[in-house]
Amino acid sequence: MTAETTVSGAPVTVAITRRIDPSTVDQVVAWVHAGSALAERFEGFLGTGWMRPSVVSDEWHMLYRFADADSLAHWEASPQRRWWLDAGKDIVEDQHAERRTGIEGWFDPPQDYDVEDLRPLPAPPPRWKQATLIWVGFFPLSLLLGTVLHALWPDLHIVGHTLLTTLVATPIMTYAVLPAVTSTFEWWLHGRSPRSRGPLEG
């Protein structure tokens, strides 16, 4: 399976779609529980869960989460995971895999039902909290870039000023600022104290 490169230090959520034979549901459930039991022994493991679009669907969706890209890579390269995948190769077929970091992993809750949860996944944080953290990251970055551009090109038209600011700020926000901010304030997003740890804490 392939996925995008992630930012080390930010929590990583992996979403995998797998197709199964509906007649092997019991075996698949047992296989899923075995994989969860193996993964939870690895440092940085934060939780996992399964969901199906319906009770008769042959397409299952798996979510699992690690504290950062390094801990995820350790699990994905482990002999335990290879053994687990080999054990399921006759009953499941990988279809698609996707990785999400930082705030991307919790924008919208899944719309599926008949959930076969192994670990409780957290509810997405309120939109106002998401907006607040975006502002917390965007304001100082925008102020810094605006100050630099004004110093370099004091007579630059507002359209050009805005264009350059957004061109520079967008990748910085996406790949550096937002992952760092959401990792730092993950406890606040989900209404926990800074020292508490939930099953999916980053």
- Domain boundaries in the chain? 12-116, 127-189
Are 173 and 141 within 8 A, CB to CB?
yes
Cα 1 off chain centre by: 16
Are 132 and 185 within 8 A, CB to CB?
no
CB atoms within 10 A of CB 52: 19
Q: Which pairing describes strands 12-20 and 113-116: parallel, antiparallel, or unpaired?
A: unpaired
Query: What is the per-residue pLDDT across 59-73, written as a single tens digit (0 to 9) for each?
Result: 888 888 888 888 999
Are 185 and 130 within 8 A, CB to CB?
no
pLDDT at 79: 92
Query: What is the per-residue pLDDT across 2-54, written as a single tens digit (0 to 9) for each?
Result: 333 344 567 888 888 888 877 888 888 888 889 888 998 999 898 887 777 66
pLDDT at 97: 73
> How is the chain classified by DSSP, letter by letter?
-------TTS-EEEEEEEEE-GGGHHHHHHHHHHHHHHHTTSTTEEEEEEEESSTT-SEEEEEEEESSHHHHHHHHTSHHHHHHHHHHTTTEEEEEEEEEEGGGGGSS----EEEE-SSPPPPPPPHHHHHHHHHHHHHHHHHHHHHHHHHH-TT--HHHHHHHHHHHHHHHIIIIIHHHHHHHTHHHHTT--TT---TT--
Task: Specify the CATH class of 12-116 in words.
Answer: alpha beta
Mean pLDDT of 173-183: 82
Cα 76 off chain centre by: 15
Residue 112 C-beta-side C-alpha neighbours within 13 Å:
20
Are 167 and 149 within 8 A, CB to CB?
no
Instruction: For residue 110, name the pLDDT band (cuts at 50, 70, 90).
Output: very low
Q: Which pairing describes strands 45-52 and 92-101: parallel, antiparallel, or unpaired?
A: unpaired
Partners of 94 in the β-ladder: 18
Are 104 and 41 within 8 A, CB to CB?
no
Q: At what angle do helices 79-88 and 25-39 cross, to 10 degrees?
A: 180
